[in-house]
Structure 1
Amino acid sequence: MSNFSSQFGKSFLTSSQYISSGSNSDSESEVDDYLPESDETSELSEDEDVQLTFVMVEKKKLVNLFSQCPVCSSEASLRENCSGSLLTIHQLCDNDSCRFKRVCKSQEQLSRGTSEGNIAISNAIFMSGSSPAKALKMFKFMGMHVISYAAYMQHQKTFIIPSVDYIYDEEKAACMARVAGHSLTLSGDGRLDAFYPYLTLFIRHENLSKSWCVLRADSPGHSAKYMVYSLMDTTTKSILCCELVQSNETGGSSYMENEGLRRCLASVMQSATVKELVTDRHPQIRKYLRDECPEVKHSFDTWHIAKGIIFIYLSMFPCSM
């Protein structure tokens, strides 16, 4: 991944900040020379983080600020252009003896032809789990200039998804480095879903060290499209590995859990050894560990054992409802 993508991933996806690209065009330098310096502001280097903050300003009020030439106070001609939420104003003094001109942008323009505000809109929609069509329609009802649905999909493909992958891989490598060379006791389970769980996977990834019991299944049966299988280190209570499995990769949804475990174990065993694994009583997992991983002690989690005992008890002594 390029340096730009890594900066975007660290900033927008972890702290909603953008690392300044430090672009200096001729038009921007003219504006910076004109704007007065303040004691409360300081120049930021390319390595410093800038907290993005946006305010709602009526377009008419903003354009009026450029109606006069800042040099001779004469009337100025304006040409406006909106690219999503980015407003660009071209100012030209009408005084023939002055003819001062400048170009001002309402946001910083990034290196790939888009602006901070446009990316921030796409990122906010994606990270909040909102419907892009409804969110963009809400902005249009307000009369705000926003990106199109096609632009949102392009931002998601070009910036957001690669940044999610970057942050996830970076955190996963850090987790594996912490357990390298250790003998681990792991617990694993899978989450079934009928929909693509990419965003959910990332949200769970950000809370790996906080919670394990975030797995849930869709309606009972064998109709799931995807499964996310996770392995937790029972000592540190942190998720070491997550694997996304699609049903057509395994020949059916009933085989996804075993395949997810295989992938997770293969990933963990590259850095550490597994002495014990706690899972549910899935028959395919039991056979796989017995035949291919005999050195790993296989244990069943108490919740599934207790649930099985309750079902047996109820079948023997049915309760009248």
Structure 2
Amino acid sequence: VSDFPEMPNVCFVKTCRHQTGKNVRKGLRFFSLPEKEPRRTAWLRCAGRGHDIENLPLIPCFCAEHFEPTAFRKDDLRRSRLRSDAVPTLLLPVADETDDPPPKRQKVVTQASATGLPAPCEAEMTLRDCTAETNIPAVVPPVPVADVPAQSHPPESAFSTCSSGVPYECTSPVPSNMPDSDATYSPSHSEDYERIEHGASAPPPPPEEERQFLVFESCLRELFKTCQECSRLCQTTIETTGTLITVYSICPVEHVRTWKSQPIVNGRPAGNILLTSHLVFSGVKIAPTLRMLRHMNVQVISDSSFYEHRKAFALPAIHKVWLQEQQELLNELQNKEVDISADGRFDSPGFCAKYLTYTVHVEQINKILHSVQVQLKESEQAMASVNMEKEGLLKQLQFFKEKGIKIRSLVTDRHPATRKHMKTHEPGIDHFFDIWHISKSVKKKLTAASKRAGCQDLQIWIQTATNHMYWSARAAGGDEKLLIDIWLSMHNHVINKHSGHEGTYGRCLHGDMPEPTRPWMDPNSQAYNQFKSITGNKLLLKDLAQMSPHGQTYALEAFHSVLIDFAPKSQAFSPEGMLAKTRLAILHFNENSNRCQAVTREGKPRWSVVTSKARKGHHTARPEITDPTYKYVGKLIKEAMESSKQWRSLAAASRANTVVFPAPMTAAYTRPPKEELVAARMSRFGHSPQ
């Protein structure tokens, strides 16, 4: 049982329809007037009773319809407790009504005469959830009695869009001293009041930071069903401009209202810019995504409009943000010697590639510093796909020289042209080969040999040979002679001979061998001869001497896995589109290259079991990495919006951000008119198709 007096169901707001206590909706909550200043005075001013402070009722109350959803506590789903700084903001009297004193004489309307009044205005109940119009005062002018029939209760349909479904109860009694835990209690600090005063006039957040919602047309029309000024039914028209929705409503007495669903940025709907930018920056396929939205009847921009916005704002934003990040990395590497790895990636499988993306990864910072795009036949040195990788390397070396960064070592694959150029023209750079590429080649040859007759024993030693190659490079520490001796000692190890090896590596370091987990090879078998022939090949030993003892290209292989999400090899792209997608993938890779291992709730490292297809069902434990982040997208969106504010015309923005690329290969040929090709077209059966 409450110790406080029962709170009346009468609203203290001057223009509220509940100020008489009649026809109060069941379950509507009421909140008592705060006792502490300056919040108390702020509530009185909002109610239009600032002049009537001396003649307050016993328990002044405000109904819940005058408070925005944000005024309630987040953890209170029933909306029964207000925040400590809550102030009524909805459906309040206009300025002239709040400032003028009440009239000395007021006309008393009896119940009989009230039956001719118009129905209670439901516009505020329909619009209370519309964020664009929540602060508009709901003041209904007098309407002739004969025009609108009377209603003692509003229809059920009027409450269907605004009722929360939770019954309202009066849970805010007025004690003499409110405790600090009370939702309506506010400490008496002047800064709280100042924050409230500026909150109503604070500018809205930028369009890219606002939340967006999926709204159905029927629900949207429900908001504009009645006139906000006279509560009559309105005729509503909806027009679309891309993602922008413009609603025009007019009532029988010609009260016109226009409402737009999104802000306008320099004459363009913000949603068109944001949709284009997010489609580009997320790396999704454009056509299927737009088609999916159209299947849902979601209003989107056309394909041509998308590509115009992309060229004008999205692609320049990618280039600008990437160049800024690249400059920061260059400043970090100034006056330092770096160890880099480089590798190329063709845009399509086979020998029909059009572009080569040649990328450089810096080991010291574990990030990609630069990437160049080589187009087939862009120069005399890139007339074939086999020559494009060397052209990419030359561009990368020139970039480092121009930026004044000294290269100490370079790790690449075993491309013959790369090896020759580094040996002839760059003797001051230590050139190493990536172990993974060499071990992959050896493993492939051993696997093929194990399928021959009498060579089945090779199968169980293939993975051992691969592991031994990695260990040899690490144990040698850059000593080429020692590396070769360690590698060739495996010829004795597989036949159970662990000492007396040739060269500087005289014996195995594993100590006494326990019971063997696999059978030893027979030194006189065909399998052993094949093993020695493959692992002791002279060309292989020459490449082993250049194996990298430290950095590898696995970081670039990981980047290629990221790049294929942004630029699949099964899809063709324009030169500018391919360059933008590559730089977008670099931004994503650099931001997430140093993620740590995820942990459980107990703080233990998280692991996952991976089954290798290449190793025929071999199971390994792999550490689970924390989820990737996408902070770079915020930078890109901000840059795209700033560019939109700068350029009034899409064409002017596109011309100002044009990047020059080599001419396409088809430019060297004359294109005949389409009419001639159609007339000359023949089917496989020798006659012209109809």
TM above 0.5: yes
Deviation digits for residues 147-174 of structure 1 (CA, Å, limit 9, x no counterpart): 1121222222222222221222222222
Work out whether residues 276 and 297 of structure 1, in 8 Å CA contact, stay in contact via their aligned partners in 2.
yes
How is 1:38-187 mapped onto 2 (pairs within 5 angstroms)? Answer: 50-95=208-253, 100-113=255-268, 115-187=269-341
Shift of 1:254: 0.9
Cα distance change, pair 136–314 in 1 and its aligned pair in 2 (3 A): closer
Aligned to 2:488: none
2:391 aligned to 253, 256, 259, which one?
259
Q: What letter corresponds to residue 268 of structure 1 in structure 2?
A: F
Shift of 1:143: 2.5
- State the secondary structure of the residue aligned to 2:211: coil
Shift of 1:225: 1.7
Aligned to 2:436: 303
- Counterparts of 1:46 and 1:272, CA distance in 2: 46
Shift of 1:121: 3.1
- State the secondary structure of the residue aligned to 2:264: coil
Aligned to 1:230: 359
- Counterparts of 2:224 and 2:263, CA distance in 1: 18
- Counterparts of 2:387 and 2:307, CA distance in 1: 32
Aligned to 2:426: 293
Aligned: 1:35 with 2:157: no
Shift of 1:34: 5.5
- Counterparts of 1:109 and 1:138, CA distance in 2: 26
Q: What letter corresponds to residue 134 of structure 2 in structure 1?
A: L
Work out whether residues 179 and 271 of structure 1, in 8 Å CA contact, stay in contact via their aligned partners in 2.
no
- Counterparts of 1:105 and 1:147, CA distance in 2: 16
Superposed CA RMSD in Å reads 3.3
- Counterparts of 2:241 and 2:323, CA distance in 1: 33
Cα distance change, pair 279–36 in 1 and its aligned pair in 2 (3 A): same
Cα distance change, pair 247–135 in 1 and its aligned pair in 2 (3 A): same
- Counterparts of 2:362 and 2:324, CA distance in 1: 18
Work out whether residues 207 and 270 of structure 2, in 8 Å CA contact, stay in contact via their aligned partners in 1.
no
Shift of 1:239: 1.1
Work out whether residues 176 and 271 of structure 1, in 8 Å CA contact, stay in contact via their aligned partners in 2.
no
Aligned to 1:214: none
Deviation digits for residues 68-95 of structure 1 (CA, Å, limit 9, x no counterpart): 3323334444332111221111334542
- Counterparts of 1:46 and 1:52, CA distance in 2: 9
State the TM-score, normalizing by the size of structure 2: 0.34
- Counterparts of 1:280 and 1:164, CA distance in 2: 30
Cα distance change, pair 180–88 in 1 and its aligned pair in 2 (3 A): same
- Counterparts of 2:333 and 2:323, CA distance in 1: 16
Aligned: 1:273 with 2:406: yes
- Counterparts of 2:445 and 2:301, CA distance in 1: 58
Deviation digits for residues 96-136 of structure 1 (CA, Å, limit 9, x no counterpart): xxx544421111222252x2333333344434544433333
- Counterparts of 1:59 and 1:152, CA distance in 2: 24
How is 1:206-217 mapped onto 2 (pairs within 5 angstroms)? Answer: none
Q: What letter corresponds to residue 36 of structure 1 in structure 2?
A: N
Moved more, 63-72 or 269-278: 63-72
Deviation digits for residues 32-67 of structure 1 (CA, Å, limit 9, x no counterpart): 995318x7x776658868534322211122123123
Matched residue count: 261
Cα distance change, pair 33–185 in 1 and its aligned pair in 2 (3 A): closer
Identity %: 27
Segments of 5+ residues of structure 2 without an aligned counterpart are 1-129, 137-195, 454-690
Shift of 1:251: 0.9
Q: What letter corresponds to residue 186 of structure 1 in structure 2?
A: I
Shift of 1:300: 1.7
- State the secondary structure of the residue aligned to 2:387: helix
- State the secondary structure of the residue aligned to 1:243: strand
- Counterparts of 1:273 and 1:173, CA distance in 2: 16
Work out whether residues 208 and 274 of structure 2, in 8 Å CA contact, stay in contact via their aligned partners in 1.
no
As a proportion of its length, which structure holds more strand?
Answer: 1
Pick the structure with greater CA Rg: 2
Aligned to 1:320: 452
State the TM-score, normalizing by the size of structure 1: 0.69
- Which structure exhibits the higher relative contact order, with contacts defined as CA atoms closer than 8 Å and separated by 6 or more residues? 1
- Counterparts of 2:200 and 2:391, CA distance in 1: 54
- Counterparts of 1:48 and 1:152, CA distance in 2: 22
Cα distance change, pair 301–119 in 1 and its aligned pair in 2 (3 A): same
Cα distance change, pair 299–92 in 1 and its aligned pair in 2 (3 A): same
Cα distance change, pair 147–236 in 1 and its aligned pair in 2 (3 A): same
